[in-house]
Structure 1
């Protein structure tokens, strides 16, 4: 049986590839479970310094596999609570930078999955399709969380309610995508960025992600104190000591991510 998620590590970068290209990497329980395990593996592997998530074939993910419908609201809610929701939380909590590389369509929960990345890159031909309401469903897997924070309240409401297809350039303008690359340059551009991140002080990335995640629920005073706590941890790391030594010695720093 073909693996639903491919996992490889090279030069400190874990590549996670959704591998159901015949159905545009539609999300079924097997794929979501496998991706969750791959994320756990990448999180705990000391050889992994950065993570790339993309899709095999022509698309990133067409969203939930509608050819295998679930009967009843309770079953749908259980699938979200036991599989998809923990996956999204694990991606956001991943203590390593996560690049989601949208190489084609990202629809429904597939769009939510793409937006869970720290840095979202897209091919010029990529499309984002928040099509939940068009088939009578509610946006899930984090869409109603990410959209207001990325695009703003008014735009988020229009995106979610209208469910219209959004091309890559418009997604970038709305704040859903960091950069758009020509289709034939996307793979090399994302690989170069991942290698760069893997060579940087990745423990600082983990602490920065923790600060950003906490900020969404904090007032300014609380967040300032959270920053101070995390900074106290950061200054004790090897990478800070290495950066200061490299500066004094006028050499390139060699970061270890600890």
Structure 2
């Protein structure tokens, strides 16, 4: 099954999340496919920039809730491992990555966008980081990237209250770096990526390593594993999954 579509635009490689029937939700095979394609891009000297986008007018609806089940801590860690590799490859892999956001970036979709070096969003897009609606902690490094992008207050507002953030607000607070007309995010992202691709690649790679060089990200990813592994075993997560599948409001009991 095709999960990631790859295309070339001069020195820029476009990686497209390609599960439109699931609004590009990221299950474990999709995480692994994205990790592998990012690694190929970072290791290819002909690729000077990467654009990450989604098929079908949606960036990414988040993790695939239907593929999640309560699991042992080691299983949850295994589930997070390819996702954490994706975060490391984008944050410190040496190749500039530009996100092109159309439609919705929800949950893990926000995490993928926020870790990118530049986020282009369509003016009618929105960002939703309501992990608490299914009983999980934000993952994909979002507790590290989001406060660095938008500040502690705006990050807490998004993560603890879960309200949708329209593109105009995302641009205002720094979650998005530039706006594009509806349907125009990819073209704008390619233009931005071309600017990065024209710079000296070794210098750009060195700057990315230094920017991601403190060990705060590694500590965060380890803490994320511990918290998520514990939450997968809770009744609230089981209720969150059931409510999601039944398209109803969850009834959480704090256990």
- TM, length-normalised to structure 1: 0.79
Shift of 1:133: 0.8
> Is the CA contact (8 Å cut-off) linking 2:57 and 2:102 kept in structure 1?
yes
Please tell me whether residue 102 in structure 1 is matched to residue 98 in structure 2: no
Query: After the TM superposition, which of the residue ranges 191-200 and 18-27 deviates more from structure 2?
Result: 191-200
Note closer, same or farther for the CA distance 1:102–1:16 as it changes in structure 2 (3 Å cut). Answer: same
- Matched with 1:199 is 198
Q: How far off its partner does 1:216 sit?
A: 7.4
Give unmatched runs, 5+ long, in structure 1: 218-258
CA contact (8 A) 2:53 2:186 kept: no
Total equivalences in the alignment: 215
SS at match of 1:6: strand
TM-score, with normalisation over the residues of structure 2?
0.80
The higher-RCO structure (CA 8 Å, 6+ apart) is 2
Residue 71 (structure 1) shift: 2.2
Alignment map for 1:67-216 (pairs within 5 Å) = 67-72=66-71, 74=73, 75-80=75-80, 82-214=81-213
CA distance in 2, matches of 1:10, 1:47: 11
Query: Unaligned stretches of 5+ in structure 2?
Result: 217-255
Find out whether 1:46 has 2:45 as its counterpart. Answer: yes
Q: Distance in 2 between matches of 1:154 and 1:199?
A: 36
Distance 1:10 1:141 in 2: 27
CA RMSD in angstroms, aligned pairs only: 1.5
Q: Is the 8 A contact 2:120 2:188 kept in 1?
A: no
Cα shift at 1:200: 2.1
What is the DSSP-based 3-state SS (H/G/I as helix, E as strand, rest coil) of the residue aligned with 2:67? coil
Cα pair distance change 1:131/1:198, threshold 3 Å: same
**What are the equivalent positions in structure 2 for 1:226-245 lying under 5 Å apart?**
none
Mark the structure with the bigger radius of gyration. 1
1:79-99, CA deviations, whole angstroms, 9 ceiling, x for partnerless residues? 11x221121111112211110
Q: How does 1:211-222 map to 2 (within 5 A)?
A: 211-214=210-213
